[in-house]
């Protein structure tokens, strides 16, 4: 199908420069996607599908927008002589302002992170395209010139726009008289890209990447030599049905994987999926996927750039990122929800207040947690990879979703003193199953790294008693565990907080040790006056000279440091120092008659305890000078 264009008097034709970030995107895309050139067709067809979705939704309130074209569809054709590939849709189209905003510039705040990610890791190129809304520019991987002809639905023929660029920094924009609404993209292929002038190749790419697009994708019928040029006979080359509406026994695993890739702009297979139909007073269908790798917007955009699920109502697209369908801690989930009973004129405000949606949201959360649980039981290797990618995001649910706190906690895994290295982890259920006789708490320690947690001096007494301790070293852990007070009826306790539980014999031994060390404790208190709240004999230490002890609800030093570095206000408090009087360093402090040297030793004792706890030193230069004095003396 051809589209005739003629210039109109207003607005005037003009040449404009791309925004700087667009130029960077174009450079990186055209120089990095050489191994995945065919991705351009997937992205342009996906954009065309979105345009048809948007028109169908707008036409609910304005049926006249569908006048003329009638059927929403996508057409792909090629011209071997002109060396062009054309992708046309009958969707919403764009006006002049939208063309400038959507193609000439990139408003997304994620663009800079896209550039950084693609620049740093070009091997991840194909997974990046599309995740930041820059899929259109993949056209320049195979084309040295791209022409866009577009007219927004509901506007007159003379409101059409022609956009053209060679991708080298500038584009031209001019008015065009367009008979039909929608968008036509013409790719003028580079030399050496002849494979995309083959109708069979284009069909194969549609089946590979876009078979589950819910609109018909049509191509001219093959004639044995080439397509008819004057009046081609069009045929549908994709499945053109909403996959989630089909019975599960008619859908293969390959179908599910293919749909995920077109849905999530991902070259990787999903880790798992769940497809369910709920019937009753409120009917809806869900198709939810767990990605195998985190999208870059999750890693780099964090909590501010979530995407949500695609929401359909009776197969009519309503919203691309319905965040209300899942809580924030499950923002990595991709998928579709198709409801039968929500009003078709639904808006974000109605979504937020709609009681029917609460039931759908609850069902989605249950399905996702069930899916993760099934993955943990049936495919432990995939589950371990999933937790590595999304475990920290899942931990946010401990705080955000109290009603599912125990379910989420059951899915988490932690390193422990029984394992070898950070990679070997244990569930809370496994931990409880191997607790020592008489042990009534789940013990853990938090630190800024696995090595720091495993080397914490507060673990010495626990190792001596054979008590397993969970080693938590992710930044989110201290915040998370502050809301996970118990699991399966067992309280969670930090090894450095509060008093250590002792039996009668141990209590008596502790009292005797404190009595014997009373003069040393008094001396240390005077030497460290103004620096510590208290000095006491430790029941935690067997080999180390000292450690910091925390009050039951006191913040761990490493977390307090991170918050201060982030500009957060943190209450100031003096630490409690616990000492091991049997250690040679303590005995040296007790024996030395030189107050200056004793003061240096006592201060070093405190400073090393602060360092092992992850707290910063107030004066690192003075710390070095003290060490030098003691080494030289």
Give the residue ranges of the annotated binding site.
Answer: 43, 47, 89, 94, 102, 109-110, 131-136, 183, 348
Beta bridge partners of 472: 446
**Beta strand pairing status for 414-416 and 425-426?**
antiparallel
Q: How far apart are CA 574 and CA 519, in angstroms?
A: 22
Centroid of chain to Cα 59: 34
Rg of the chain, C-alpha, whole Å: 32
The CA-atom distances, in angstroms, between 38 and each of 166, 195, 208, 353, 513 are 19, 10, 10, 43, 75
- Direct distance between the N- and C-terminal alpha carbons of the chain, in angstroms, rounded to an integer: 92
Q: How far apart are CA 194 and CA 172, in angstroms?
A: 26
Alpha helices in 175-323 (DSSP H): 199-209, 253-264, 296
Q: How far apart are CA 386 and CA 367, in angstroms?
A: 16
Q: Which residues neighbour 272 within 8 Å (Cβ) at sequence distance 6 or greater?
A: 289, 290, 371, 372, 374, 375, 379, 382
CA geometry: angle 565, 571, 576, nearest 5 deg: 105
The residue among 266, 274, 315, 317 whose CA lies nearest residue 292 is 266
**Beta strand pairing status for 490-494 and 284-290?**
unpaired
Contact yes or no for 608/555 (Cβ under 8 A): no
Q: How does DSSP assign 322-387, residue by residue?
A: EGGGS-GGGTT-EEEEEESSS-TT--HHHHHH-HHHHHHHHHHHHHHHHHHHHHHHH-HHHHHHHH
Q: Using CA atoms in the order 342, 347, 351, 353, what is the torsion angle rounded to 10 degrees?
A: -110
Coil, helix or strand for 461? helix
CA geometry: angle 464, 468, 473, nearest 5 deg: 115
Contact yes or no for 540/548 (Cβ under 8 A): no
Centroid of chain to Cα 172: 37
Coil, helix or strand for 144? strand
Contact yes or no for 75/218 (Cβ under 8 A): yes
The total number of residues written for the chain in this structure = 633
Whether omega for the bond prior to residue 399 falls within 30 degrees of 0, making it cis, is: no
The annotated binding site for ATP is made up of: 43, 47, 89, 94, 102, 109-110, 131-136, 183, 348
Beta bridge partners of 494: 444
Q: How far apart are CA 83 and CA 196, in angstroms?
A: 9
The residue among 258, 241, 250, 301 whose CA lies nearest residue 116 is 301
**Beta strand pairing status for 334-339 and 309-313?**
parallel
Q: How far apart are CA 578 and CA 495, in angstroms?
A: 13
Question: Cβ–Cβ contacts within 10 Å for residue 226, how many?
Answer: 15
Alpha helices in 434-494 (DSSP H): 450-454, 460-465, 477-481
Q: How far apart are CA 353 and CA 558, in angstroms?
A: 41
């Amino acid at each position: 199908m051809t589209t005739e264009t003629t210039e109109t008097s207003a607005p005037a034709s003009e040449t404009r420069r791309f925004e700087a970030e667009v130029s960077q995107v174009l450079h990186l895309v055209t120089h990095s996607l050489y191994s995945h050139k065919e991705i351009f067709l997937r992205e342009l067809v996906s954009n065309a599908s979105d345009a048809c979705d948007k028109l169908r939704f707008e036409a609910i309130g304005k049926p006249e927008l569908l006048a003329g074209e009638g059927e929403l569809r996508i057409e792909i054709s090629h011209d071997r002589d002109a060396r062009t590939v054309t992708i046309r849709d009958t969707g919403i189209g764009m006006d002049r302002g939208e063309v400038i905003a959507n193609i000439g510039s990139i408003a997304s705040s994620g663009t800079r992170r896209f550039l950084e990610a693609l620049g740093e890791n070009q091997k991840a190129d194909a997974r990046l395209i599309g995740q930041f809304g820059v899929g259109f520019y993949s056209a320049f991987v195979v084309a040295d010139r791209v022409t866009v002809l577009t007219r927004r639905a509901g506007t007159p023929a003379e409101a059409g726009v022609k956009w053209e660029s060679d991708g080298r920094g500038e584009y031209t924009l001019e008015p065009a008289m367009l008979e039909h609404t929608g968008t036509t993209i013409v790719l003028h292929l580079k030399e050496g890209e002849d494979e995309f002038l083959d109708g069979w190749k284009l069909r194969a790419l549609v089946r590979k990447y876009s078979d589950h697009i819910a609109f018909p994708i049509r191509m001219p019928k093959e004639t044995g030599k080439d397509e008819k040029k004057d009046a081609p006979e069009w045929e549908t080359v994709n499945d053109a049905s909403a996959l989630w509406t089909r019975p599960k026994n008619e859908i293969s695993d390959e179908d599910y994987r293919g749909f995920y890739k077109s849905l999530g702009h991902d070259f990787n297979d999903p880790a798992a999926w769940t497809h369910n139909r709920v019937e009753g007073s409120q009917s809806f269908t869900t198709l939810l996927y767990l990605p195998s790798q985190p999208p870059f917007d999750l890693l780099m955009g964090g909590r501010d750039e979530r995407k949500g699920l695609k929401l359909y109502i009776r197969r009519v697209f309503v919203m691309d990122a319905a965040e209300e369908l899942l809580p924030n801690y499950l923002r990595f989930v991709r998928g579709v929800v198709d409801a039968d009973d929500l009003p078709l004129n639904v808006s974000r405000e109605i979504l937020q207040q709609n009681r029917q949606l609460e039931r759908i949201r609850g069902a989605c959360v249950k399905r996702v947690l069930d899916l993760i649980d099934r993955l943990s039981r049936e495919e432990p290797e995939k589950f371990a990879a999933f937790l590595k990618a999304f475990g920290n995001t899942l931990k946010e649910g401990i705080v955000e979703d109290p009603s599912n706190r125990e379910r989420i906690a059951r899915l988490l895994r932690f390193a422990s003193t029984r394992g070898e290295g950070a990679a070997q982890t244990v569930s809370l259920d496994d931990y409880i199953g191997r607790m020592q006789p008489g042990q009534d708490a789940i013990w853990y320690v938090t630190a800024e790294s696995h090595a720091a947690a495993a080397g914490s001096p507060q673990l010495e007494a626990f190792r001596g008693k054979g008590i397993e301790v969970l080693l938590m070293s992710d930044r989110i852990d201290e915040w998370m565990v502050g809301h996970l007070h118990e699991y399966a009826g067992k309280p969670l306790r930090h090894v450095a907080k509060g008093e250590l539980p002792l039996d009668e014999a141990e209590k008596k031994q502790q009292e005797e040790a404190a009595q014997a060390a009373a003069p040393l404790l008094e001396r240390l208190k005077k030497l460290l006056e103004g620096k510590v709240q208290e000095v006491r004999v430790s029941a935690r230490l067997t080999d180390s000279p000292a450690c910091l002890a925390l009050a039951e609800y006191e913040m761990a030093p490493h977390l307090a440091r991170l918050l201060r570095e982030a500009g957060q206000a943190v209450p100031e408090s003096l630490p409690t120092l616990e000492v091991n009087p049997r250690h040679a360093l303590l005995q040296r402090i007790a024996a030395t008659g030189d107050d200056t040297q004793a003061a240096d030793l006592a201060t070093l004792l405190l400073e090393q305890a602060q360092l092992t706890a992850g707290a910063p030193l107030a004066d690192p230069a003075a710390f070095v000078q003290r060490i030098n004095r003691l080494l030289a003396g």
